[in-house]
Amino acid sequence: MHLGAFSISLAVKDIHASKKFYEALGFTVFAGTLERNYLIMKNGNALVGLFQGMFDKNILTFSPGWDESANTLDSFEDVRDIQKHLKAQGIQIENEADENTTGPASFVIVDPDGNPVLIDQHV
């Protein structure tokens, strides 16, 4: 099973301070705006999302259908197929994707330590 591009979404307290910190590590702004309180920072294949006031916990994110530069892949596992596979493995799904739809969709699972994992398909 291939989950797609990986990123981590951080719930930050001060987006300006976080932006400055990650820029010092060599990251540059890839997407988002400070005015909307979120930035996606990129360094090579590494993606870090900075989100101020949008959620309480950090989130591990996988994006089926995208590579690390948000380019659409020619072939990929659909989010609904990934969800079905995980359900068959006994993984509890939160905020399930509607399996009767196509295109963009997402679902959330939570790892044993309480870390949310978002499977978020944009195509």
Task: Specify the pLDDT at position 1.
Answer: 87
Q: What share of the chain in percent tops pLDDT 90?
A: 98
Torsion sign across C-alpha atoms 83, 94, 52, 11: negative
Long-range CB pairs of 104-107 (<8 Å, 24+ gap) are 105/79, 105/80, 106/79, 107/79, 107/83
> What single DSSP character describes residue 26?
T
Who's near 102: CB < 8 A, 6+ residues apart? 78
Domain ranges of the chain: 5-121
In 13-73, at which residue ranges do the beta strands (DSSP E only) sit? 28-33, 38-43, 46-52, 59-63
Q: How far apart are CA 58 and CA 51, in angstroms?
A: 9
Query: Hey, which CATH number is domain 5-121, 3.10.180.10, 3.30.960.10, 3.10.129.10, 3.30.70.360?
Result: 3.10.180.10
Task: Grade residue 94 by pLDDT with cuts at 50, 70 and 90.
Answer: very high
pTM above 0.85? yes
pLDDT (mean) for 26-42: 97
